Amino acid sequence: MTKRRLETDGAPRAMGPYSQGIVANGFCFCAGQLGLDPATGELVEGGVGPQTERALKNLLSVLDATGLSLADVVKTTCFLADIADFAAFNEAYARLMPDPFPARSTFAVGELPKKGALIEIEAIATFAQV
């Protein structure tokens, strides 16, 4: 198996020993993205809605580095700092994620990797046309 690392300035740099994304065997595996502005490295303001939108835009930048888009995403895993934000998260997610929506798991977690982060989203996309 060959795998290729993805790097783009359109998404925040990795905050540890991991890649923004990996392409392998016809899939693109995107690392979890927070609602960080890639230009400043700071979380966007305004709550879970704007952070969700920014996280999805960061994922789109990683996907775009391979010629993929959010329409090619087949699975997302979403982590919320507070399950009470589920409705607002869903609203923002539905605005940016194209239909048919990918399969998804959403969890409330105790803490995210940056203080003040409300959402993290990771994605798997495919190059195969269904």
Total structural domains within the chain: 1
Q: Is 82 helix (H, G, I), strand (E, B) or coil?
A: coil
pLDDT of residue 82: 97
According to DSSP, residue 101 is labeled: P
Compute the distance between CA of residue 16 and CA of residue 108 in angstroms, rounded to an integer: 22
126, containing H or E segment: strand 119-126
- Give tens-digit pLDDT for 62-121: 999 999 999 999 999 999 999 999 999 999 999 999 999 999 999 999 999 999 999 999
What whole-number distance in Å separates Cα of residue 126 and Cα of residue 110?
A: 30
pTM recorded for the entire structure: 0.95
- CATH at 79: 3.30.1330.40
Cβ atoms < 10 Å from Cβ of 95: 11
Domain that holds residue 120: 3-126
